[in-house]
Structure 1
Protein backbone atom coordinates (compact mmCIF):
# COMPACT_ATOMS: atom_id res chain seq x y z
CA UNK A 1 0.00 0.00 0.00
CA UNK A 2 1.27 3.48 -0.89
CA UNK A 3 2.00 5.72 2.08
CA UNK A 4 0.23 9.11 2.34
CA UNK A 5 1.99 12.45 1.89
CA UNK A 6 3.90 11.48 -1.24
CA UNK A 7 3.37 14.98 -2.64
CA UNK A 8 4.54 18.39 -1.41
CA UNK A 9 4.01 22.04 -2.35
CA UNK A 10 6.59 21.58 -5.11
CA UNK A 11 4.07 19.33 -6.89
CA UNK A 12 1.68 22.29 -7.34
CA UNK A 13 2.19 24.81 -10.14
CA UNK A 14 0.29 28.11 -10.05
CA UNK A 15 -0.08 29.44 -13.59
CA UNK A 16 -1.74 32.71 -12.61
CA UNK A 17 -3.09 34.45 -9.55
CA UNK A 18 -5.11 37.62 -9.13
CA UNK A 19 -6.92 39.37 -6.29
CA UNK A 20 -10.59 39.66 -7.26
CA UNK A 21 -11.80 41.32 -4.05
CA UNK A 22 -10.10 43.31 -1.30
CA UNK A 23 -12.23 44.54 1.59
CA UNK A 24 -12.35 43.50 5.23
CA UNK A 25 -11.19 40.17 3.78
CA UNK A 26 -9.43 39.27 0.52
CA UNK A 27 -10.39 36.83 -2.22
CA UNK A 28 -7.87 35.55 -4.79
CA UNK A 29 -8.52 33.58 -7.98
CA UNK A 30 -5.91 31.00 -8.94
CA UNK A 31 -5.24 29.04 -12.12
CA UNK A 32 -3.27 25.95 -11.16
CA UNK A 33 -2.28 22.37 -11.84
CA UNK A 34 -0.86 19.65 -9.61
CA UNK A 35 0.40 16.07 -9.66
CA UNK A 36 -2.17 13.26 -9.56
CA UNK A 37 -2.07 9.91 -7.80
CA UNK A 38 -2.10 8.08 -11.18
CA UNK A 39 1.19 9.72 -12.19
CA UNK A 40 -0.33 12.28 -14.55
CA UNK A 41 -0.87 16.01 -14.05
CA UNK A 42 -4.22 17.65 -13.39
CA UNK A 43 -5.37 19.91 -16.27
CA UNK A 44 -5.23 23.61 -15.38
CA UNK A 45 -8.29 24.55 -13.33
CA UNK A 46 -9.44 27.58 -11.32
CA UNK A 47 -10.24 28.02 -7.65
CA UNK A 48 -11.13 30.98 -5.45
CA UNK A 49 -9.19 31.26 -2.19
CA UNK A 50 -10.37 33.25 0.84
CA UNK A 51 -7.24 34.89 2.29
CA UNK A 52 -7.81 35.31 6.01
CA UNK A 53 -4.45 34.92 7.73
CA UNK A 54 -3.70 33.00 10.90
CA UNK A 55 -5.63 33.31 14.15
CA UNK A 56 -5.16 32.29 17.77
CA UNK A 57 -7.92 30.91 20.00
CA UNK A 58 -7.72 30.23 23.74
CA UNK A 59 -9.95 28.29 26.11
CA UNK A 60 -9.66 30.04 29.52
CA UNK A 61 -9.78 27.36 32.22
CA UNK A 62 -9.63 27.65 36.00
CA UNK A 63 -8.44 24.24 37.32
CA UNK A 64 -9.15 25.19 40.94
CA UNK A 65 -12.80 26.11 40.36
CA UNK A 66 -13.10 23.71 37.40
CA UNK A 67 -14.66 26.48 35.31
CA UNK A 68 -14.23 27.83 31.80
CA UNK A 69 -14.84 31.30 30.38
CA UNK A 70 -16.68 31.46 27.07
CA UNK A 71 -17.52 34.55 25.03
CA UNK A 72 -20.89 35.31 23.49
CA UNK A 73 -20.97 37.50 20.39
CA UNK A 74 -22.75 37.96 17.06
CA UNK A 75 -21.36 36.02 14.07
CA UNK A 76 -22.58 36.90 10.56
CA UNK A 77 -21.75 33.44 9.21
CA UNK A 78 -24.34 31.86 11.51
CA UNK A 79 -27.15 34.11 10.26
CA UNK A 80 -29.88 32.27 8.37
CA UNK A 81 -29.37 29.00 10.24
CA UNK A 82 -31.94 27.42 12.53
CA UNK A 83 -30.16 28.86 15.58
CA UNK A 84 -29.18 32.14 17.17
CA UNK A 85 -26.31 33.94 15.39
CA UNK A 86 -24.94 34.83 18.83
CA UNK A 87 -22.42 32.06 19.52
CA UNK A 88 -20.46 30.86 22.54
CA UNK A 89 -16.81 30.91 21.56
CA UNK A 90 -13.24 31.04 22.80
CA UNK A 91 -11.06 34.09 23.29
CA UNK A 92 -9.74 34.70 19.78
CA UNK A 93 -7.92 37.16 17.57
CA UNK A 94 -6.09 37.52 14.29
CA UNK A 95 -2.30 37.28 14.37
CA UNK A 96 -0.68 40.55 13.40
CA UNK A 97 2.67 40.73 11.60
CA UNK A 98 5.52 40.01 14.01
CA UNK A 99 3.27 38.63 16.77
CA UNK A 100 3.66 35.13 18.16
CA UNK A 101 0.47 33.14 18.85
CA UNK A 102 1.23 33.39 22.59
CA UNK A 103 1.37 37.18 22.37
CA UNK A 104 -1.95 37.23 20.52
CA UNK A 105 -3.48 34.94 23.16
CA UNK A 106 -2.43 37.22 26.03
CA UNK A 107 -3.52 40.40 24.23
CA UNK A 108 -6.94 39.03 23.34
CA UNK A 109 -7.42 37.59 26.82
CA UNK A 110 -7.21 41.12 28.20
CA UNK A 111 -9.22 42.84 25.43
CA UNK A 112 -12.06 40.32 25.13
CA UNK A 113 -12.45 39.01 28.68
CA UNK A 114 -10.26 41.00 31.08
CA UNK A 115 -8.21 37.86 31.77
CA UNK A 116 -4.52 37.36 32.46
CA UNK A 117 -3.32 33.85 31.68
CA UNK A 118 -0.96 32.32 34.23
CA UNK A 119 0.25 29.89 31.58
CA UNK A 120 -0.67 28.73 28.09
CA UNK A 121 -0.72 25.11 26.96
CA UNK A 122 -0.72 24.41 23.25
CA UNK A 123 -3.57 22.18 22.10
CA UNK A 124 -2.96 22.04 18.33
CA UNK A 125 -2.77 23.99 15.10
CA UNK A 126 -5.48 23.26 12.54
CA UNK A 127 -6.62 24.40 9.10
CA UNK A 128 -10.13 25.83 9.35
CA UNK A 129 -11.48 24.90 5.90
CA UNK A 130 -8.57 24.17 3.55
CA UNK A 131 -10.81 23.59 0.54
CA UNK A 132 -11.43 27.32 0.32
CA UNK A 133 -9.50 29.39 2.88
CA UNK A 134 -5.88 29.80 3.95
CA UNK A 135 -6.70 30.34 7.63
CA UNK A 136 -4.74 28.38 10.25
CA UNK A 137 -5.79 28.46 13.91
CA UNK A 138 -3.33 28.16 16.80
CA UNK A 139 -5.33 26.66 19.66
CA UNK A 140 -4.43 26.95 23.36
CA UNK A 141 -5.75 26.36 26.83
CA UNK A 142 -5.00 29.29 29.13
CA UNK A 143 -4.97 28.77 32.89
CA UNK A 144 -6.69 31.59 34.77
CA UNK A 145 -8.62 32.46 37.89
CA UNK A 146 -12.30 32.67 36.96
CA UNK A 147 -13.33 34.00 40.38
CA UNK A 148 -14.15 37.48 39.09
CA UNK A 149 -14.53 36.67 35.39
CA UNK A 150 -17.55 37.69 33.33
CA UNK A 151 -18.97 40.96 32.04
CA UNK A 152 -19.01 43.07 28.91
CA UNK A 153 -15.92 43.56 26.75
CA UNK A 154 -14.76 44.28 23.20
CA UNK A 155 -13.06 47.01 21.20
CA UNK A 156 -15.73 49.50 20.12
CA UNK A 157 -13.72 50.75 17.13
CA UNK A 158 -13.63 47.14 15.87
CA UNK A 159 -17.42 46.84 16.34
CA UNK A 160 -17.00 44.16 19.01
CA UNK A 161 -19.77 43.54 21.52
CA UNK A 162 -18.78 40.66 23.80
CA UNK A 163 -20.28 39.15 26.92
CA UNK A 164 -18.01 36.84 28.93
CA UNK A 165 -19.74 33.94 30.68
CA UNK A 166 -18.41 31.53 33.30
CA UNK A 167 -19.51 27.88 33.13
CA UNK A 168 -18.53 24.73 34.93
CA UNK A 169 -16.45 22.49 32.68
CA UNK A 170 -19.23 19.89 32.88
CA UNK A 171 -21.87 22.34 31.65
CA UNK A 172 -19.65 23.53 28.79
CA UNK A 173 -19.06 19.96 27.61
CA UNK A 174 -22.80 19.27 27.83
CA UNK A 175 -23.38 22.23 25.49
CA UNK A 176 -21.33 20.41 22.86
CA UNK A 177 -23.46 17.30 23.31
CA UNK A 178 -26.74 19.16 22.84
CA UNK A 179 -25.50 21.42 20.04
CA UNK A 180 -25.55 24.77 21.81
CA UNK A 181 -21.82 25.04 21.08
CA UNK A 182 -21.22 24.21 17.42
CA UNK A 183 -18.09 26.09 16.32
CA UNK A 184 -14.92 24.12 15.65
CA UNK A 185 -12.43 25.88 17.91
CA UNK A 186 -14.64 25.61 21.00
CA UNK A 187 -15.53 21.98 20.28
CA UNK A 188 -11.89 20.94 19.81
CA UNK A 189 -10.71 22.83 22.89
CA UNK A 190 -13.46 21.55 25.18
CA UNK A 191 -12.97 17.96 24.04
CA UNK A 192 -9.24 18.40 24.71
CA UNK A 193 -10.14 19.70 28.18
CA UNK A 194 -12.30 16.64 28.76
CA UNK A 195 -9.21 14.48 28.09
CA UNK A 196 -6.77 16.65 30.09
CA UNK A 197 -8.95 18.04 32.90
CA UNK A 198 -7.76 15.57 35.56
CA UNK A 199 -4.10 16.22 34.73
CA UNK A 200 -4.52 19.99 34.87
CA UNK A 201 -6.27 19.75 38.24
CA UNK A 202 -3.66 17.34 39.60
CA UNK A 203 -0.90 19.76 38.60
CA UNK A 204 -2.36 22.39 40.96
CA UNK A 205 -2.74 19.84 43.74
CA UNK A 206 -6.44 18.98 43.36
Structure 2
Protein backbone atom coordinates (compact mmCIF):
# COMPACT_ATOMS: atom_id res chain seq x y z
CA UNK A 1 0.00 0.00 0.00
CA UNK A 2 1.16 3.48 -0.83
CA UNK A 3 2.17 5.64 2.13
CA UNK A 4 1.16 9.12 1.06
CA UNK A 5 1.52 12.44 2.79
CA UNK A 6 -0.05 15.84 2.26
CA UNK A 7 0.88 19.30 3.55
CA UNK A 8 -2.12 20.91 5.22
CA UNK A 9 -0.55 24.06 6.64
CA UNK A 10 2.88 25.67 7.01
CA UNK A 11 3.87 28.47 9.37
CA UNK A 12 7.12 30.45 9.31
CA UNK A 13 8.64 30.59 12.80
CA UNK A 14 11.96 32.27 12.03
CA UNK A 15 13.89 33.52 9.02
CA UNK A 16 17.09 34.75 10.58
CA UNK A 17 20.28 32.80 9.81
CA UNK A 18 18.21 29.92 8.44
CA UNK A 19 14.50 29.17 7.98
CA UNK A 20 12.52 27.48 10.73
CA UNK A 21 9.01 26.34 9.82
CA UNK A 22 6.31 24.23 11.42
CA UNK A 23 4.10 22.16 9.13
CA UNK A 24 0.87 20.26 9.70
CA UNK A 25 0.88 17.03 7.68
CA UNK A 26 -1.61 14.32 6.93
CA UNK A 27 0.09 10.92 6.67
CA UNK A 28 -1.30 7.61 5.45
CA UNK A 29 0.05 4.68 7.46
CA UNK A 30 0.77 1.13 6.29
CA UNK A 31 -2.71 0.08 7.37
CA UNK A 32 -4.33 2.89 5.35
CA UNK A 33 -5.27 4.91 8.43
CA UNK A 34 -4.66 8.66 8.19
CA UNK A 35 -3.17 10.78 10.93
CA UNK A 36 -2.26 14.44 11.32
CA UNK A 37 1.08 15.53 12.74
CA UNK A 38 2.98 18.77 13.31
CA UNK A 39 6.65 18.74 12.31
CA UNK A 40 9.31 21.44 12.41
CA UNK A 41 12.03 21.85 9.81
CA UNK A 42 15.22 23.84 10.09
CA UNK A 43 16.40 24.73 6.59
CA UNK A 44 19.91 26.14 6.35
CA UNK A 45 20.62 24.83 2.85
CA UNK A 46 22.70 21.90 1.68
CA UNK A 47 26.45 21.62 2.15
CA UNK A 48 29.62 19.76 1.30
CA UNK A 49 32.45 18.32 3.40
CA UNK A 50 35.99 17.22 2.50
CA UNK A 51 38.63 15.05 4.13
CA UNK A 52 42.05 15.66 2.59
CA UNK A 53 44.31 12.66 3.19
CA UNK A 54 48.03 12.06 2.68
CA UNK A 55 48.47 8.36 1.83
CA UNK A 56 52.28 8.50 2.13
CA UNK A 57 52.40 9.91 5.65
CA UNK A 58 48.97 8.48 6.59
CA UNK A 59 47.81 11.97 7.65
CA UNK A 60 44.53 13.88 7.39
CA UNK A 61 43.76 17.62 7.47
CA UNK A 62 41.12 18.81 9.93
CA UNK A 63 40.13 22.15 11.44
CA UNK A 64 39.36 23.28 14.97
CA UNK A 65 36.77 26.02 15.36
CA UNK A 66 34.32 27.48 17.85
CA UNK A 67 30.79 26.04 17.67
CA UNK A 68 28.06 27.87 19.53
CA UNK A 69 25.71 24.82 19.80
CA UNK A 70 28.47 22.96 21.68
CA UNK A 71 28.88 25.90 24.06
CA UNK A 72 25.08 26.14 24.39
CA UNK A 73 25.02 22.46 25.41
CA UNK A 74 27.48 23.20 28.21
CA UNK A 75 30.61 21.72 26.62
CA UNK A 76 33.74 22.82 28.48
CA UNK A 77 35.59 22.94 25.15
CA UNK A 78 33.34 24.37 22.43
CA UNK A 79 36.17 24.41 19.87
CA UNK A 80 35.33 21.28 17.86
CA UNK A 81 37.65 19.37 15.54
CA UNK A 82 36.00 18.81 12.18
CA UNK A 83 36.50 18.09 8.52
CA UNK A 84 36.29 21.30 6.45
CA UNK A 85 32.74 21.96 5.29
CA UNK A 86 30.50 24.71 4.02
CA UNK A 87 27.09 25.61 2.67
CA UNK A 88 26.56 25.33 -1.07
CA UNK A 89 24.80 28.66 -1.51
CA UNK A 90 24.64 28.85 -5.33
CA UNK A 91 27.64 26.57 -5.93
CA UNK A 92 27.66 22.93 -6.91
CA UNK A 93 29.13 20.67 -4.20
CA UNK A 94 32.57 20.31 -5.79
CA UNK A 95 33.01 24.07 -6.35
CA UNK A 96 31.88 24.66 -2.76
CA UNK A 97 34.34 22.21 -1.27
CA UNK A 98 37.22 23.55 -3.34
CA UNK A 99 36.52 27.05 -2.02
CA UNK A 100 36.17 25.78 1.57
CA UNK A 101 39.48 23.89 1.35
CA UNK A 102 41.24 27.10 0.30
CA UNK A 103 39.49 29.27 2.90
CA UNK A 104 39.68 26.93 5.89
CA UNK A 105 42.75 24.82 5.14
CA UNK A 106 44.92 26.94 2.84
CA UNK A 107 44.81 23.97 0.47
CA UNK A 108 44.32 24.00 -3.30
CA UNK A 109 42.75 20.66 -4.13
CA UNK A 110 43.73 18.48 -7.06
CA UNK A 111 41.40 15.64 -8.03
CA UNK A 112 38.55 15.00 -5.58
CA UNK A 113 36.44 11.88 -5.11
CA UNK A 114 32.74 12.30 -4.42
CA UNK A 115 31.57 9.63 -1.98
CA UNK A 116 27.89 10.07 -1.14
CA UNK A 117 25.14 12.44 0.00
CA UNK A 118 23.81 12.01 3.54
CA UNK A 119 21.40 13.63 5.97
CA UNK A 120 22.92 14.13 9.42
CA UNK A 121 19.78 14.85 11.42
CA UNK A 122 16.73 14.14 9.21
CA UNK A 123 14.25 14.37 12.07
CA UNK A 124 14.17 18.14 11.70
CA UNK A 125 17.19 19.48 9.77
CA UNK A 126 16.89 19.62 5.98
CA UNK A 127 20.64 19.84 5.28
CA UNK A 128 22.03 17.19 2.95
CA UNK A 129 25.84 16.97 2.89
CA UNK A 130 27.88 15.80 -0.09
CA UNK A 131 31.01 14.00 1.15
CA UNK A 132 34.38 14.21 -0.61
CA UNK A 133 37.94 12.99 -0.09
CA UNK A 134 41.07 14.23 -1.84
CA UNK A 135 44.77 13.41 -1.61
CA UNK A 136 47.32 16.01 -0.56
CA UNK A 137 51.06 15.97 0.18
CA UNK A 138 53.16 17.22 3.06
CA UNK A 139 54.05 20.42 1.20
CA UNK A 140 50.51 21.20 0.03
CA UNK A 141 49.00 22.41 3.30
CA UNK A 142 50.52 25.79 3.99
CA UNK A 143 47.98 27.38 6.34
CA UNK A 144 48.06 27.14 10.11
CA UNK A 145 44.94 29.25 10.57
CA UNK A 146 42.10 29.95 8.19
CA UNK A 147 38.46 30.91 7.83
CA UNK A 148 36.59 33.91 6.52
CA UNK A 149 36.54 36.86 8.90
CA UNK A 150 33.34 38.24 7.32
CA UNK A 151 31.59 34.97 8.23
CA UNK A 152 32.94 34.98 11.79
CA UNK A 153 35.18 32.00 11.07
CA UNK A 154 38.52 31.44 12.71
CA UNK A 155 39.92 27.97 12.17
CA UNK A 156 43.08 26.23 13.29
CA UNK A 157 44.39 23.73 10.75
CA UNK A 158 45.42 20.33 12.15
CA UNK A 159 47.65 18.01 10.09
CA UNK A 160 47.24 14.75 12.03
CA UNK A 161 48.24 11.13 11.60
CA UNK A 162 45.10 9.11 10.85
CA UNK A 163 45.80 6.88 13.86
CA UNK A 164 45.93 9.92 16.13
CA UNK A 165 42.65 11.25 14.74
CA UNK A 166 40.97 7.86 15.28
CA UNK A 167 42.32 7.72 18.84
CA UNK A 168 40.87 11.21 19.39
CA UNK A 169 37.46 9.88 18.30
CA UNK A 170 37.75 7.02 20.81
CA UNK A 171 38.78 9.48 23.54
CA UNK A 172 35.85 11.80 22.83
CA UNK A 173 38.06 14.60 21.50
CA UNK A 174 36.54 14.48 18.00
CA UNK A 175 32.75 14.52 18.33
CA UNK A 176 31.52 15.75 14.96
CA UNK A 177 29.56 13.04 13.14
CA UNK A 178 30.58 13.97 9.58
CA UNK A 179 34.23 13.92 10.62
CA UNK A 180 33.98 10.57 12.40
CA UNK A 181 32.30 9.10 9.34
CA UNK A 182 35.05 10.37 7.01
CA UNK A 183 37.83 9.19 9.33
CA UNK A 184 36.29 5.72 9.43
CA UNK A 185 35.98 5.77 5.64
CA UNK A 186 39.66 6.70 5.35
CA UNK A 187 40.67 3.91 7.73
CA UNK A 188 38.64 1.33 5.81
CA UNK A 189 39.13 2.40 2.19
CA UNK A 190 41.92 4.94 1.74
CA UNK A 191 44.59 4.03 4.28
CA UNK A 192 43.77 0.65 5.81
CA UNK A 193 46.20 -0.77 8.34
CA UNK A 194 48.61 -3.21 6.77
CA UNK A 195 48.41 -6.66 8.31
CA UNK A 196 51.22 -9.17 8.19
TM-score of the superposition, structure 2-length normalised?
A: 0.91
* 1:36 correspondence with 2:36: no
Name stretches of at least 5 consecutive residues in structure 1 with no aligned partner.
1-5, 202-206
Partner of 1:195: 188
Moved over 3 A (4+): 80-83
Cα distance in 2 between the residues matched to 1:38 and 1:85: 46
Contact 1:61-1:146 at 8 Å conserved across structures:
no
Contact 2:81-2:174 at 8 Å conserved across structures:
yes
* 1:101 correspondence with 2:79: no
Cα shift at 1:197? 2.5
User: Of the candidates 7, 15, 21, which is equivalent to residue 14 of structure 1?
Assistant: 7
User: Of the candidates 56, 69, 75, which is equivalent to residue 64 of structure 1?
Assistant: 56
User: Of the candidates 49, 69, 73, which is equivalent to residue 65 of structure 2?
Assistant: 73
Cα distance in 2 between the residues matched to 1:64 and 1:14: 53
Pair 1:117–1:81, CA change in 2 (3 A): same
Alignment of 1:71-150 (within 5 A): 71-79=63-71, 80-97=73-90, 99-147=91-139, 149=141, 150=143
Pair 1:198–1:162, CA change in 2 (3 A): closer
Cα distance in 2 between the residues matched to 1:7 and 1:139: 32
Cα distance in 2 between the residues matched to 1:71 and 1:104: 17
Contact 2:108-2:140 at 8 Å conserved across structures:
no
> Helix, strand or coil: the match of 1:34?
strand
TM-score of the superposition, structure 1-length normalised?
A: 0.87
Cα distance in 2 between the residues matched to 1:146 and 1:96: 31
Cα distance in 2 between the residues matched to 1:146 and 1:22: 43
Pair 1:146–1:37, CA change in 2 (3 A): farther
Cα distance in 1 between the residues matched to 2:155 and 2:75: 22
How many positions carry a matched residue from both structures? 191
Cα distance in 2 between the residues matched to 1:146 and 1:54: 31
